[in-house]
Amino acid sequence: MEIRTVGVVGAGQMGNGIAHVFAQAGFDVKMTDISAAALEASVERIGTNLDRQVARDRLTKADRDAAMSRITTTDQLSELGSCDLIIEAATENETIKHQIFADLAPHLGPDTILTSNTSSISITRLASKTDRPERFMGFHFMNPVPIMSLVELIRGIATDEATFDLLKGVVAKLGKTAASAEDFPAFIVNRILMPMINEAIYTLYEGVGSVESIDTSLKLGANHPMGPLELADFIGLDTCLAIMNVLHDGLADTKYRPCPLLTKYVEAGWLGRKTDRGFYDYRGDVPVPTR
């Protein structure tokens, strides 16, 4: 089987990045979302990001236009059923993901491969509710997708070798590097990254350091390109909390208990950059720490 057409479910930050890299690599992409405005904004964002690559001489204008021509949008999930590969990139909520795959089921071709861009949820559990667990995998891109070179490939207990090999080849066509992860809570990257972010929030919660001092310490003391609290805002505090809950519930270890301050920020709707407030306030010209 050869992958030619790719369906992307979700036009948010991850979905538009995934559509971008597939279209640029020569795949025909069909993107869907429950919000028409989100679809429109996503296509505009992809165009802007491709324009930036042209301006930096990393892409020709002809290649930019060709990539944009390969992207179509629809508000009908069923229209993705004919794609060779479908990548679910909806919010990090297991119930929503199960519903998406259930709604897709009647419209799928017999050979369509299903994948999820989930950053933490069990692939085995998601696959078990579909009619093709052997052709279901975790396909976890890093954010921002066009820049980050890693893709985590996660096999569920029923995923067959042919599906894994095929998707490993797709990752290579995208010019990215695949890392194989076992199906345990949060896989590799977030199993390591999220507890670090959670510990940084505890460090703030306990008054060990301020937002600014914690981020400065990790940037200059550990050579991290972004401080952990700045990174949490970039990822989305709701996503950070969801992943910590998956780790805490799935591994039953108190070291993964989400910091109460993280929960409080999410309850307040301060989710980071996407809501203009998190550990920093982004409503002015320069981000200002909120604690």
**What whole-number distance in Å separates Cα of residue 96 and Cα of residue 46?**
25
Backbone φ and ψ of 272, nearest 5°: 110, -150
User: What is the token pair recorded at 208?
Assistant: 């060990």
Task: Clarify whether 152 is annotated catalytic.
Answer: yes
Contact between residue 205 and residue 260 where contact means Cβ atoms under 8 Å apart: yes
Per DSSP bridges, beta strands 136-141 and 150-155 are antiparallel
Three-state secondary-structure class, residue 131? coil
Single out the catalytic residue among 16, 92, 122, 140.
Answer: 140
Contact between residue 157 and residue 110 where contact means Cβ atoms under 8 Å apart: no
**DSSP structure string for 179-238:** EEE-SSTTTTHHHHHHHHHHHHHHHHHTTSS-HHHHHHHHHHHS--SS-HHHHHHHH-HH
**What whole-number distance in Å separates Cα of residue 7 and Cα of residue 139?**
13
Single out the catalytic residue among 20, 190, 198, 230.
Answer: 190
Single out the catalytic residue among 42, 152, 198, 230.
Answer: 152
Task: Clarify whether 119 is annotated catalytic.
Answer: yes
Task: Clarify whether 248 is annotated catalytic.
Answer: no
Alpha-carbon separation of residue 107 from 58, 76, 90, 93, 221 (angstroms): 38, 11, 19, 23, 52
Task: Clarify whether 140 is annotated catalytic.
Answer: yes
Single out the catalytic residue among 16, 49, 117, 119.
Answer: 119
Sign of CA dihedral 120, 121, 127, 133: positive
Catalytic residues: 119, 140, 152, 190
